[in-house]
């Protein structure tokens, strides 16, 4: 059974325009949801990469600290060797 038209809701053109606008808004919303899903995927990947790089940075900092400690030890040994060599040269003189 066909419904009768109720002019209380506006003209047929207004109803059609409203329905078309609703469909346009729905298409835009769907496009924005798809874009949002893509961006969420990219954000997740970037967060994973940041975590990976942070872990690598921690390892590199540990290596750097070990190298600094080793370098300090080598400098101390070099100073001691220099002092011993100076004493030996003085002894020979």
Domain ranges of the chain: 7-92
pLDDT in tens, 60-80: 999 999 999 999 999 999 999
Is residue 2 pLDDT above 80, yes or no? no
pLDDT in tens, 28-69: 999 999 999 999 999 999 999 999 999 999 999 999 999 999
Q: For position 46, what pLDDT does the model report?
A: 97
Longest dimension (CA), the chain: 125
pLDDT in tens, 6-22: 666 667 777 787 888 88
Regarding pTM above 0.75, the answer is no
In whole angstroms, give the CA distance from residue 16 to residue 69: 78
């Amino acid at each position: 059974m066909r419904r009768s038209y109720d002019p209380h809701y506006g003209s047929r053109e207004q109803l059609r325009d409203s329905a078309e606008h609703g469909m346009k808004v729905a298409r835009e919303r769907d496009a924005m949801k798809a874009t949002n899903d893509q961006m969420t995927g990219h954000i997740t990947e970037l967060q994973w990469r940041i975590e990976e790089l942070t872990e690598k940075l921690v390892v590199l900092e540990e290596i750097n600290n070990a190298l600094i400690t080793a370098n300090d030890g080598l400098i101390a040994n070099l100073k001691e060797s220099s002092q011993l060599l100076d004493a030996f040269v003085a002894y020979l003189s």
